Amino acid sequence: MNSLMKNLNVTLLILLVFGLYSVNTSAQQDAQYTQYMYNTLSINPAYAGSRDVLSFVGLYRSQWVGLEGAPKTATVSLHSPVGKNVALGLNIVNDEIFITNETYVDIDFSYTVKTSREGRLALGVKGGAHLLDVDSNRANTGAENNTISEEINIDNRFSPQVGVGAYYYTNKFYLGLSAPNLLDTEHFDNGGEDLNSSSLRTERVNYYLMTGYTFDLNNDLKFKPAGLVKLVNGAPLQVDLSANFLIKEKVTLGAAYRWSAAFSGMIGFQISDKFMLGFAYDRETTELQQFNDGSYELFLRYELFNRNNKMVSPRFF
């Protein structure tokens, strides 16, 4: 039985990888996050500096736990105002799935203008590098019938990244539109005759639309519905809807739904003025749920500011 399940897991991952990285594949989506409302810099460069402090975010996601070779994503970002209306950010993402490993390193720049007494509009750009590594040797799982071709190998292939974004916000509302990478990039494997003229993997432009609003239910309770829509040519539209409650500005409880994909639960703790810790769990609603134990996501935010300049009522995003 164990051998059967192991072979089944390997088969599932082979199908998944070939679905994403096979010859002439039409699209590839960026990594997904359940706690996207706290990891905004990964998808929108205009978010840089919007919290008016030096903000550090670390996030780790383990997807489809129990399925061998399933996606694992680690994100580290740092952003801060550096001058009047100007902010900079750094974002690093490592995304690993089965035989592939991707690393993104981006520098973000944003410029913010006041549009009203409370409203601000930030425009951002990002530039950086993408490294793609595909190693067929990682498919050595011990399964008797290993069908991964030894020719599918890419050794840290470099490609440039350029992205743009816009982010409008007040103390209670935000609306963002972005494309983290505007370049369509094709990757080739020149080691095999069959792949000399065919794209092994293609990066497509991912478009993001996100929004949220905070309602003050009473002095100790805030409610924030939020949504994220992701569009990429050749892939299904992805819609994430979430609802979070902030209790006494210390504890966050929430739930989310990824359209036709998963339900999620979220919890967060504002440990101190500087530290916030968050956790999310996803459960698939597709047939894939019978082959894994769900997805886990851990989030940490650390912010450094002059206590005299701290926000009297911190924003819920």
Q: Who's near 223: CB < 8 A, 6+ residues apart? A: 214, 215, 217, 243, 244, 245, 246
Amino acid of residue 19: G
What is the pLDDT at residue 113?
97
pLDDT per residue as tens digits for the range 28-67: 467 789 999 899 999 999 999 999 999 999 999 999 998 8
Split at pLDDT 50, 70, 90, the class of 11 is very low
Residue 5: what pLDDT?
Answer: 47
Q: What is the pTM of this model?
A: 0.83
Output the CA–CA distances (angstroms, integers) from residue 209 to 78, 186, 206, 283, in the order listed: 22, 25, 10, 24
Burial class (CB in 10 A: 0-12, 13-18, 19+), 88: middle
Rounded to 5°, angle at Cα 159 from 157 and 165: 145
Is the pLDDT reported for residue 211 higher than 60?
yes
**Range 247-255 contact pairs with CB under 8 angstroms and sequence separation of 24 or more:** 247/220, 247/221, 248/220, 248/221, 249/222, 249/313, 249/314, 252/278
E strand segments, 219-294: 221-232, 238-247, 251-258, 262-270, 275-284
Q: Residue 111 CA to chain centroid, in angstroms?
A: 23
Buried-state track 38-76, b at ≥16 Cβ within 10 A, e below 16: bbbbbbbbbbbbbbbbebbbebebbbbeebbbbbbbbbb
Nearest C-alpha neighbor of 249 from the set 268, 230, 229:
268
What 8-state DSSP symbol labels residue 299? E
pLDDT tens-place string over residues 254-271: 999 999 899 999 999 999
CATH number of 30-138+149-176+262-304: 2.40.160
Sign of CA dihedral 283, 58, 71, 186: positive
CA-CA-CA-CA torsion sign (27, 30, 34, 39): negative
What is the rounded CA–CA span in Å between residue 87 and residue 79? Answer: 7
